[in-house]
Amino acid sequence: MATSTRKNAATVQGRRYPRFHLDVDWFVVSKGCSTLGRGIELSVRGALLPATCNSPFTDEVTLYLSLPLRPKMLKAQCTASNQGQRGWVLHFEELSPEDLQLLGHTLLTEFGVAALPNLERRAEHAIELP
């Protein structure tokens, strides 16, 4: 449990969906160019890929991710933007319902309710009380 708490503290605050570091294998393909690695920051909306290369990626990227307790890799169609020394930010554009459910389950299992958006803040903005 101490490991999860330490990982939670390392997430970027102020995001609707915070990213959490998972020590899992990943593989990325973009216009015939590919790279692979281990360790990625994930949320239910996207990922921060720790690859600092400048150019082989285009705006359209396919991410394959090996999540715990699943023999088949998760597949996500993404848009990508280079964040320099931080890596590439991937925004999920297409993800099967099964893969999204698995991703959400993995994040909840590893990091608890911190992986969910702050629903209390959302409710305050949606409902104006007199």
The pLDDT of residue 3 is 40
Tell me how far apart the alpha carbons of residues 121 and 130 are, in angstroms, rounded to a whole number.
Answer: 17
Q: Can you state the percent helix, strand and coil of the chain, rounding each to 5?
A: 30, 35, 35
Domains of the chain: 2-126 (2.40.10.220)
Our measurement of the distance from residue 106's CA atom to the centroid of its chain's CA atoms, rounded to an integer in Å, reads 11
The pLDDT of residue 97 is 92
pTM here is 0.74
C-alpha closest to that of 117 among 11, 24, 39, 21: 11
The pLDDT of residue 7 is 42
Our measurement of the distance from residue 84's CA atom to the centroid of its chain's CA atoms, rounded to an integer in Å, reads 18
How do the pLDDT tens digits run along the chain, 130 residues long?
A: 334 433 443 444 455 678 999 999 999 988 878 888 999 999 989 999 887 666 666 778 999 999 887 788 999 999 988 777 778 889 999 999 999 888 888 888 888 877 766 544 554 555 554 4
Our measurement of the distance from residue 15's CA atom to the centroid of its chain's CA atoms, rounded to an integer in Å, reads 12
Number of C-beta neighbours around residue 107 at 10 A:
23
Our measurement of the distance from residue 97's CA atom to the centroid of its chain's CA atoms, rounded to an integer in Å, reads 15
Q: What is the pLDDT of residues 79-111, one digit of tens each?
A: 988 777 778 889 999 999 999 888 888 888 888
The pLDDT of residue 55 is 61
In sequence order, the 6+-apart residues with CB closer than 8 A to the CB of 118 are 16
The rounded percent of the chain whose pLDDT value lies above 90 is 29
